[in-house]
Amino acid sequence: MRIAAAQCETVAGDIQENSHRHYELIHKAAKQKVDCIVFSELSLTGYEPKHAKDLALQPSSSILDSFQQLSDHYSMMISLGAPLQSRDLPFIGMVTFTPNEKRQWYAKRRLFSGELPFFSAGTSLRCLTWGDEQIGPAICYESCQPEHVAEVVQAGATVYMASVAKSATDVKKAIPFYQKVAREQRIVVIMSNCMGPCDDFVGAGSSAVWDRNGQCVAALNQEQIGLVGYDTLSRNGFIA
């Protein structure tokens, strides 16, 4: 499996423009023969908690149909971030499109204190399957919580897929944690982070992938738009 993390800057609240930026990276991923691509936390709207309720979508929304079409066309699994409607406050969601299958979604289950006034927490966890690989979803804050790691590993994950929106300070804290998870759990860890203005901070990019020995095999810097990925067969990282 070739899995890639996408890195780009989002425009706050502009789903149409952000969708086009997603499309560009999906097309690029197809040229790299990527099987699975993940985008950053709330990538479709930007990380904007105060506006999330107004921007929230249903996972089945026709606005997302183009991503299913791209998934079918390229035979690629696509996971993107979006606020998802609920009976109460919206979820911080990850919607996944699998070729010729019903779309799946996951809601962040562990929220940090600043998110509690704006979001509801999800309740269920299920790995995504691609061939022999089991991909465990993790969204930002929860991705650095040992309890979440343990649950994902218990669910059978062979890849830990972190979709985040982190500042430079938070990235600096997260990197050694992801390295430790990869090394101790013998699991591939891939992080997709955003760039540019987000709510009250600046996304610091630095998307990266760590192999099962905890070695960083590929990484983008804070300002690169593109892809960082890993081939589980050749065990090589790549950048595009």
CA–CA distances in Å: residue 43 to residues 13, 40, 102, 165? 10, 5, 21, 9
How many helices (H) and strands (E) the chain has is answered by 5, 15
Report the alpha-carbon distance of residue 46 to residue 122 in Å, rounded: 19
Q: What percent of the chain has pLDDT over 90?
A: 100
Mean pLDDT estimate for the chain:
98
Q: How do the domains of the chain map onto residue ranges?
A: 2-239
Encode pLDDT of 161-205 as tens digits: 999 999 999 999 999 999 999 999 999 999 999 999 999 999 999
- Residues 79 and 162: their CA atoms lie apart, in Å, by 11
Nearest to 233 by CA among 161, 134, 132: 132
Digit-coded pLDDT (tens) for 59-69? 999 999 999 99
Share of the chain above pLDDT 70, in %: 100
Using pLDDT thresholds of 50, 70 and 90, give the confidence band for residue 222: very high
- What topology is assigned to 2-239 in CATH? Nitrilase/N-carbamoyl-D-aminoacid amidohydrolase (3.60.110)
For 48-112, list the strands marked E by DSSP: 77-84, 91-97, 104-107
